[in-house]
């Protein structure tokens, strides 16, 4: 049986007479505008289970797509499945719009599909993955060199909520590498400056800004509801504190550090994978002496270096949220900017780790300033 081909105007007339108009495009296509009153069901979904949308096989079914090709194929499939009255709209939505026929449009959904269209074209992400990013919470300690690129790309990617904790203010010396901030915001709290920049980039993202120094007293409040935690700190006491809290709360921690022309990053996921994945203490049971690891103010840092490491941290956070690919858990990635080389070091869980050893109860938070000073 041949498929009946009809004009958009005829489809509208028959819809108003009781016909069922079905737009078989994908949801992100329909969001930009669709025939008023049409049911939205992607072609694949319709063909796999037509009864869910069209229980009456004697109904007047009118199928519409963008230009007419997909609706024609869907109509052929419905006829083969036993539907008696199926028509395909010639010219599809393109012709429907050109003829000025009634349209419906959800501006909120249209913005979502438009903004993240390149993500949703990736089969590994799709709409389901983008919705997962939208529902995710990432806690970031530090809104400086590492936090700037990481937060910027997480906001661009559509991570729904970004929690920022940093008690510092913007200084002119920060601007060589901390790209969230501007000369006009010197003296402003970094988390507020970051909130302004990230909201301007993506107003859909919620930025929870805490101008606080992270301590054992507030760490669980700041990271407790996060799906992923990013370490953008620049000192050892905070790194050990974050590690211990993430082990206790079973949160994946995306680690990053920079020094002069070199950087490194990893994922510490010991809280969820006791005895299998290492934590930060498995790598550094004790902090190095201060002279072996001076901070950026003391040793300097190439301005673009935190950008490279921060982007790698953002990449790992997105992969963890989407459960895509192979995370850096159990691997330490080193980057040398001068030679433009990456190298990788394998990491193992320490069976005697004081925090993450399998079966070991959490020992409690310590005085991390004193712990680092003592070594």
So which residues are the catalytic ones? 296
CA-to-CA separations, 142 to 47, 189, 191, 370, in angstroms, rounded: 50, 12, 8, 21
Q: Is 350 left (phi over 0), alpha (psi -120 to 50) or beta?
A: beta
Strand-pairing partners, residue 257, are 264
Cβ atoms of 193 and 170 closer than 8 Å: yes
- C-alpha 340: how far from its chain's center? 27
Contact residues for 257 (Cβ-Cβ < 8 A; gap 6+): 263, 264, 265, 309
User: How many other β-carbons are positioned within 10 Å of the β-carbon of residue 216?
Assistant: 14
Rg over alpha carbons for the chain, rounded to the nearest Å, is 27
Cβ atoms of 76 and 64 closer than 8 Å: no
Alpha-carbon distance 89 to 96, whole Å?
Answer: 9
Cβ atoms of 181 and 148 closer than 8 Å: yes
First-last CA distance in the chain: 83
């Amino acid at each position: 049986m041949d498929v009946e081909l009809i004009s958009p105007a005829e489809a509208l007339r028959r819809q108003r007479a009781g016909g069922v108009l079905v737009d078989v495009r994908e949801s992100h296509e329909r969001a930009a505008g669709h025939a008023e009153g049409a049911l939205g069901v992607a072609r694949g979904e319709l063909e796999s289970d037509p009864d869910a949308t069209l229980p009456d096989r004697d109904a007047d079914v009118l199928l519409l797509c963008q230009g007419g090709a997909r609706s024609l194929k869907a109509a052929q499939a419905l006829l083969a499945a036993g539907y008696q009255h199926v028509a395909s709209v010639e010219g599809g939505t393109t012709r429907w719009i050109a003829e000025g026929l009634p349209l419906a449009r959800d501006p909120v959904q249209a913005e979502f599909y438009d903004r993240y269209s390149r993500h949703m074209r990736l089969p590994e992400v799709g709409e389901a993955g983008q919705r997962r990013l939208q529902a995710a919470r990432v806690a970031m300690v530090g809104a400086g060199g590492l936090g700037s690129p990481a937060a910027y790309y997480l906001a661009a990617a559509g991570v729904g909520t970004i929690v920022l904790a940093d008690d510092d203010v913007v200084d002119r010396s920060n601007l060589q590498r901390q790209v969230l901030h501007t000369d006009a915001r010197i003296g402003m709290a970094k988390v507020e400056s970051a909130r302004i920049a990230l909201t301007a980039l993506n107003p859909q993202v919620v930025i929870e800004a805490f101008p606080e120094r992270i301590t054992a007293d507030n760490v669980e409040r700041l990271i407790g509801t996060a799906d992923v935690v990013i370490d953008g700190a620049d000192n050892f006491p905070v790194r050990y504190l974050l590690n211990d809290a993430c082990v206790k709360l079973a949160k994946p921690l995306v680690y990053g550090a920079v020094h002069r022309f070199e950087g490194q990053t990893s994922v510490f996921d010991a809280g969820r994978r006791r005895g299998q994945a290492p934590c930060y203490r498995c790598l550094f049971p004790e902090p190095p002496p201060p002279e072996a690891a001076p901070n950026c103010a003391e040793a300097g840092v190439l301005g673009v270096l935190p950008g490279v490491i921060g982007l790698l941290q953002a990449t790992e956070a997105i992969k963890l949220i989407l459960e895509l690919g192979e995370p850096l858990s159990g691997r330490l990635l080193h980057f040398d900017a001068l030679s433009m080389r990456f190298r990788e070091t394998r990491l193992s869980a320490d069976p005697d780790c004081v925090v993450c050893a399998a079966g070991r109860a959490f020992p409690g938070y310590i005085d991390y300033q004193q712990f680092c000073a003592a070594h």
